[in-house]
Amino acid sequence: MTIKENLQKIKQEIPANVTLVAVSKSKTIDEIMEAYDAGQRDFGENYVQELRNKQPLAPKDIKWHFIGTLQTKQIKYIAPFVYMIHSVTSIKHIEEIDKRAKQNNRIIPILIELHIANEITKSGVDDSELFELLEYYNNNNFANIEIQGLMGMATFTNETEQIRQEFKHLKKIFDIVKEKYFNNNVNFKHLSMGMSNDYMIAIEEGSTIVRIGTLIFGERKYNK
Ligand SMILES: *Cc1c(COP(=O)(O)O)cnc(C)c1O
C-alpha cells in the first residue's frame, strides 16, 4: 500500500470532526510530500532539531504539531511557526511558550499532556500536577498562549480493555477540567489521543485528534 492509500483508508474510518495528524518523525521530505499531495496538511514531529530541518523545506501551509518531549530551551526555535504543542508538562513550558509567542506576535495553542499509561517511561503530568498547572495558568494572564485541551498516550499493550480504561480516564479529566477551569468555554475542545494501534478505541472514547505514524508511513527506522 502507498502512503496515499494508507491515508485514504484511515480517512474513511475516522469521523470528519476528528483531526488526523500524520506523524512524520524519521520520515523524509519526499514521504511528507507524498502525504501532502494526497491532501494531508496536519503533520506531527517529536524532535525540535528534526522539525527545524524539515519545516523550511516543506510547503508553508502545513500545520506542524509538536508532540515530542518538550525542552524549555528549544521552544524558541519552533515558536515562529508551530501550529500546536501537544506535550506541555510544566509551568516553565507555559511561561516560555507565552514569552516566545509574544516575541513572534502570535498566540500558540497548547495541550497539556497527562500521564495515563501504566508505564513509567511515558511522559506527562499526573492528575494533581495537572490541577496545579491549571490553577497557575488561571491566576496569571498569559496573553499569547491558549490551552485548548489535553493529550495522552495509552499503555502499549494488546489489552484493549486496559487501553479503553486509560482513555476513559483522560476523557473524564478533560470534562472536569473543561467545566472547572474553563467554564465550559468552547475553545477548550481538544482531546489528542490515539495512535496506530489504538486510534479507533480513542475515537470511541471521545478523541478529537489522532496522531498516526506507522499506519501511514510504515515502520520507522532511526539510524542515529
Ligand atoms: C511516534 C508517536 C506517535 C505515532 O505513533 P505510531 O504508533 O507510529 O502511530 C503518536 N504520538 C506520539 C506522541 C508519538 O511519539
Mutate to test the pocket of ligand 1, among 170, 211, 212, 220 (most ligand atoms within 8 A of CB): 211
pLDDT band at 123 (very low <50, low <70, confident <90, very high): confident
Whether the CB of 152 sits within 6 Å of ligand 1: no
Q: Is 222 a residue whose pLDDT tops 70?
A: no
Cβ-contact 222, 116 below 8 angstroms: no
Q: What is the pLDDT of residue 223?
A: 55
Q: Is 121 a residue whose pLDDT tops 80?
A: no
pLDDT digits (tens, 9 = 90+) for 179-200: 999 999 999 999 999 999 999 9
Q: What is the pLDDT of residue 160?
A: 96
- Atom number, ligand 1, closest to the C-alpha of residue 23: 4
Cβ-contact 124, 114 below 8 angstroms: yes
Does the predicted TM-score (pTM) go above 0.85? yes
- Atom number, ligand 1, closest to the C-alpha of residue 196: 9
pLDDT digits (tens, 9 = 90+) for 91-108: 999 999 999 999 999 999
DSSP class per residue in 54-87: HGGGS-TT-EEEE-S---GGGHHHHTTT-SEEEE
Place of cell 523524509: 28
Q: What is the pLDDT of residue 62?
A: 98
Whether the CB of 65 sits within 6 Å of ligand 1: no
Whether the CB of 19 sits within 6 Å of ligand 1: no
DSSP class per residue in 130-151: HHHHHHHHHTS--TTEEEEEEE
Over residues 118-123, mean pLDDT: 78
